[in-house]
Structure 1
């Protein structure tokens, strides 16, 4: 938060020059600290891209697992059908 010249003069008049100077420095330091914690558009875009990459990897892993199960089920069905054919 940057204080305007008029605001600074009002503080100096109300509190005295030294107290106003201390208060202004405290306010400006707090403002600088608060700005450091704000997310920028680039931060948000980077976070979304990382999330997209993680989700894509999870989906690919899920598809691979599903294909393994399907192949296993087909092999099991083929075994069952072969056993039934032998019984006939």
Structure 2
């Protein structure tokens, strides 16, 4: 899984340079870092999507095969009756 790094020091220094008080800038940097950790941890990756699509494809193939089998059985039963 890919990790994204967030430079809290650079962010805080950017805020300080823009006139934000140092304590507030550092608190915002820490808060944003924690938010990113929590939210990015649950981020779906391409690998997750491919895995889900393969599972969906397999289920669809099984259902389609069952449907075809039932349809052929019904047609065979009708042919015998007529």
Instruction: Note whether the superposition's TM-score is higher than 0.5.
Output: yes
In the superposition, the TM-score normalised over structure 1's length comes to: 0.72
Unaligned stretches of 5+ residues in structure 1: 78-88
Q: TM-score, normalised by structure 2?
A: 0.77
Q: Out of 45, 64, 69, which is 2:74 matched to? A: 69
- Picking from 22, 42, 47, the partner of 1:42 is 47
Which runs of 5 or more structure 2 residues have no equivalent in the other structure?
none
How many residue pairs match? The answer is: 77
Structure 1 residue 9, shift from structure 2 partner: 1.5
Tell me which stretches of 4 or more aligned residues in structure 1 moved more than 6 Å: none
Higher RCO (CA-CA < 8 Å; seq separation 6+): 2
In angstroms, what is the RMSD of aligned CA positions?
Answer: 2.0
